[in-house]
Chain A
Amino acid sequence: MTKRARVLVLMALIGLCAGTIRNQLLLSLVSLSVVVWIVAEWIRFRIAVDWTLPRMQFQRLINDQSEHRGLWSGRKIRMEVRVTSPKPVKIEVRLRDYVPEMLEIISPDAVPGQRPPGVETMNDWNRALSSPVKVPWVSDLWDRWTFHLKSFFADVDKPATRQETIMRVGEQTVSLTYMGFLPSAGRLSLPGVRLILEDMYGLFREHRFREFPHSYRVLPGYYESGELRPTIKRNNSLPRHGIHRLQRSGMGSELLELREYVPGDPPKSIAWKVSARRDKLLTRQYESEVPVRVHLVVDGSIPTRIGGYGLRLLDQINYVAASVAQAALAVGDPVDCMLVDESGVQRLPWFNGDRGMMELLKALADFSVKPPPSATAVTPYMKQMAMTVIHERYPELLDVRYSLVPFTLRTDYRRRYRLVGALSALYDLSPREHAACMLSDVPLAEPLQRLLFDAGMPWMAPLLPAPDEPTRQSHQRMQAIGRSMLRSIMHAHDNEVFVILADLLSAGPNLDALARTVKLATSKHHRVAFVCPTTTFLRPKAEPIVAASESISDLLLAAERTRVRDCAAQLKRDLAQLGAAVSFSGEQKAVRMVLGEIDTARSGRSRVQGLRP
């Protein structure tokens, strides 16, 4: 029953009493009629709900297809939900597709991934809508009243959002269509549709969630360089696919040079004609023919996973890794991948061809999805988001008829009681855990975070308590990357390429563990390239950084850019001394840098434009 119905019933009862006492027939009759009418509408509404809901059929289409093996990040998708009822509906049904954070809703003509200027993260969006006065109770009051005002002035006849539609009385089918954009790789889970059933007078309303879950793997997008140089025949013989000429002596088919005969050389390699001309024995030296194998080391530690989807460092890493792998596999170079995070190192098998590319992308997509480490603290923002999720995803759990709150004037207590009640029902908490969640934030943190993760929310701060020794953690991280690289070197032959995609900027001065491994790799004639994404999405530049304005967000951005610039300069010096190439920020320039390194390895040179060693 809505507020509207309650007010009407109350007024009608008052009118009935007054009319009966004063013996006024019309007043009594009209008032009683209103009560009877509301009761009749309630019965009608209940029957309509019980009849309509189970018979509604839902179908989801993505890009006009019902079956999908995988979606791609960085691309626009057209979502469609078709709802059909066997008979015209008797009540108004408002449908809202539950869209996780992973999917950004965009207008059909929007450019994917483009945000308004100055808005970098989701927190900025929230900040932009928050109250001008930063006092908690004023902000609360502001939020509440702006919400009421917005809903009062909103055109209720139109759907409020793009992923919403209204099935009006008498309609049988309705289609909900909107455009979405996937900013990052991972898994897109679409659990179902939120339904708001309302009678035509707005007297009764029922909130329901209709489950029809769909889950899609979102593969990382990649940059297609389009330069397949090794397939062009430049010499007499063309090695087979995936085998490249290496200008070092070996057992290939291309002649590298002639040298004097040394006892022990095979007689068939003696160049008899030249030997006769020069009057001394000369031996033909052939070029070596080797595959240029690419080793990807992907860092998926906690610092790379923090932030909204599309804004994480891991998203940049995935993009570069997928682009490099695509370019290598397109020319037949095998690629292997080491996935490193706090839980250990996962070594993937060698990938070859298109099938291998798909397998690698799937592995990267699955690696992007990981539950956050268990939190020990709860922030007001987390609680707010959890309430929003419950309101959207489990609306029946906030029904005041069943979620009975003891009488209190404290709104925060009531809110917490409802939140804990819903979590308790969802995750089967025992009465003891239920009580503990009510009394303390520490036990509440875990189920709250689980709810947010299940709802497809990105990791939120605070993930972990501030470590006592932050440098120790980064040292351990670098050691893990170094160990994984060492394992790759052990399996490598010669002239291979190691691409380390990691957050080195937060590692600071803890590169020693990694430096030893890099030295070892370069000494074995391997190429090593580092790709280090930045939190600002901008390449660090040498010139001084000036904030665009004196607003807090711009000042913070300028400070972060300055920090990144200083760290990057130091890191670049250190890595250059080790003979490794480095690129900051994970975009096309980084991909080109790595491809350049692969080309160098392919040519057998030690430098990009250098001479033969």
Chain B
Amino acid sequence: MSNTSSPALPANYLLIADLLHMVTAGVLLNLFLFSGTEVPFAFQLVITSLIMVVTVRGGGWLVLGAMQASMFLYEPRGDIISVQLSTILFGSVCLAYVAYATGFRTIRRVLRNWLARVLHLLSTKWSSEQPQSVLSQLDARADSRADVLVLRQESELLLWRGLRLLAIVIVTSIVFLQLPITRPVVQFWWERAVAMNLQMWPGPNAFVIALACLLVIVIGSWRALSPTQAKLYLKSFYVIEHFRELRSVLVRSGRLHDSPKRVALPKKPVVAIPVKEK
């Protein structure tokens, strides 16, 4: 358990919180997919329910697919020049929703507990205003103090997650606008290249950065290799077939490493050969 012991929440609060957040999630999804469209409400309801059911068990792939389909069909086409604040916010909300759907199992628990705690605090506050005995007031106060502490932790956790997603979208939008994949950026790159004697800036730098990222990823995955896994890898057909020399070098070095070091033999004492005297 964490350092702060969380007081147990009543089951009815958890149920209400669960219902509340599921309904909110459903309404949000409906808005994402069908706002500004003329799809019949019954169809909207069926699609939303279906996606929610899959989300509960299968993760967020259907949510992402549905969102992409909605954007693909209804988003107006045009040259991408700059990213507005509203676009970043919308993108963040979309990403947050995809993240929520992907990690539904864990996030649902956190959200449910958070909401239930808020509800519990509100009800405790309301009931404390009613006349009651001193002991029950003390109990309620102790409970609410622990609740507040846990609530603060959970709120911080959720806030950090939200901020992280927002930062990702901001970084992505900056990167997106720099990449030569949109027509204006491609045009800008060509113009700059012509101005700089056909040197494709920042082509070499981008290449170096991409290579460095790739290296980090490869080294990261190799560092996670355990000795037994290394043995297994060296014996796999892929290495035997394609990296025979590398394998033999590694196996030999491994043997040398494992074998006990040879103790240097003491040098034989130099004995002077007696010279026969004539």
Let me know if A479 is at the binding interface, CB within 8 A: no
Decide if B107 is an interface residue (CB 8 Å cutoff).
yes
Asked if B98 is at the interface of the complex by the 8 Å CB criterion, the answer is yes
**Complex contact A88–B2 (CB within 8 A):** yes
Minimum CB–CB distance from B97 to chain A (whole Å) comes to 10
Kindly list chain A residues whose C-beta atoms are within 8 Å of the C-beta of B109: 157
Residues of B within 8 A of A50 (CB): 223-224
Query: Interface readout for B71-99 with A: 1 if CB under 8 Å, 0 if not?
Result: 11001111110010001001100110011
Chain A positions within 8 Å of B165 at CB level: 37
Expressed in whole angstroms, the minimum distance between the Cβ of A491 and any Cβ of chain B is 48
Known: A31-B68, A152-B57. A23 touches B232 (CB 8 A): no
B228 at the interface (CB under 8 A from A): yes
Query: Cβ of A29 < 8 Å from any Cβ of B?
Result: yes
B232→A403 contact, CB < 8 A: yes
Determine if B95 and A37 form an interchain contact, defined as CB atoms under 8 angstroms apart.
yes
A4 at the interface (CB under 8 A from B): yes
Q: Is the CB of A34 within 8 A of B64?
A: yes
Q: Which of A20, A30, A169, A394 contacts B71 (CB 8 A)?
A: A30
Residues of B contacting A30 in the complex (Cβ-Cβ under 8 angstroms): 67-68, 71, 91, 94-95, 98
User: Are A421 and B232 in touch, CB under 8 angstroms?
Assistant: yes
A68 within 8 A of B: no
Contact with B along A81-110 (1 / 0, CB 8 A): 000000010001000000000000000000
**When A7-B61, A25-B80, A201-B102 are in contact, do A33 and B75 touch as well, CB less than 8 Å?**
no
Name the prevailing secondary structure of the A interface residues: helix
Instruction: Say yes or no: is B3 at the interface (Cβ < 8 Å to chain A).
Output: yes
Q: CA–CA, A4 to B204, complex, Å?
A: 34
Starting from the known contacts A4-B59, A24-B77, 16 additional A-B residue pairs (CB-CB under 8 Å) come to A8-B102, A11-B61, A26-B91, A27-B68, A33-B94, A40-B168, A50-B223, A92-B106, A169-B106, A169-B157, A199-B103, A200-B107, A201-B103, A202-B106, A397-B229, A401-B221
In the assembled complex, the Cα of A7 lies from the Cα of B102 at a distance in Å of 11
Interface residues of A (CB under 8 A from B): 4, 7-8, 11-12, 14-15, 18-20, 22-34, 36-37, 40, 46, 49-50, 88, 92, 152, 156-157, 168-174, 199-203, 206, 394, 396-397, 399, 401-406, 421-422, 424-426, 428, 431, 434
Q: State which residues 95-152 of B face A: CB under 8 Å.
A: 95, 98-99, 102-103, 105-107, 109
Q: Check if B182 is an interface residue, CB within 8 A of chain A.
A: yes
Give CA–CA (A471, B220) in the complex, Å: 63
How far is B232's CA from A428's CA once the two chains are assembled, in angstroms?
Answer: 10
Contact of A399 among B80, B223, B229, B238 (CB under 8 A): B229
Contacts of A397 in B (CB 8 A): 228-229, 232
Number of interface residues of B (CB under 8 A): 65
B99 touches which of A46, A201, A206, A406 (Cβ 8 Å): A201
Q: Which residue of A lies closest to B59 (CB)?
A: A4
Contact B1 A173 (CB under 8 A): yes
Contacts of B2 in A (CB 8 A): 88, 170-172
B67 surroundings in chain A (CB, below 8 A): 30
| Closest B residue by C-beta to A426 | B228
A23 near B102 (CB under 8 angstroms)? no
- B169 at the binding interface (Cβ < 8 Å): yes
Interface centre among A37, A46, A394, A405 (most CB of B within 10 A): A37
Nearest Cβ in chain B — how far from A169, in angstroms? 7
Across-interface contacts of B95 in A (CB, < 8 A): 30, 33-34, 37
Q: Name the A residues within 8 Å of B83 (CB-CB).
A: 25, 29
Assembly CA distance A36 to B71 (angstroms): 19
A434 CB contacts on chain B under 8 angstroms: 235
B102 touches A402 (CB 8 A): no
Given contacts A33-B168, A172-B1, contact A24 B71 (CB under 8 A): yes
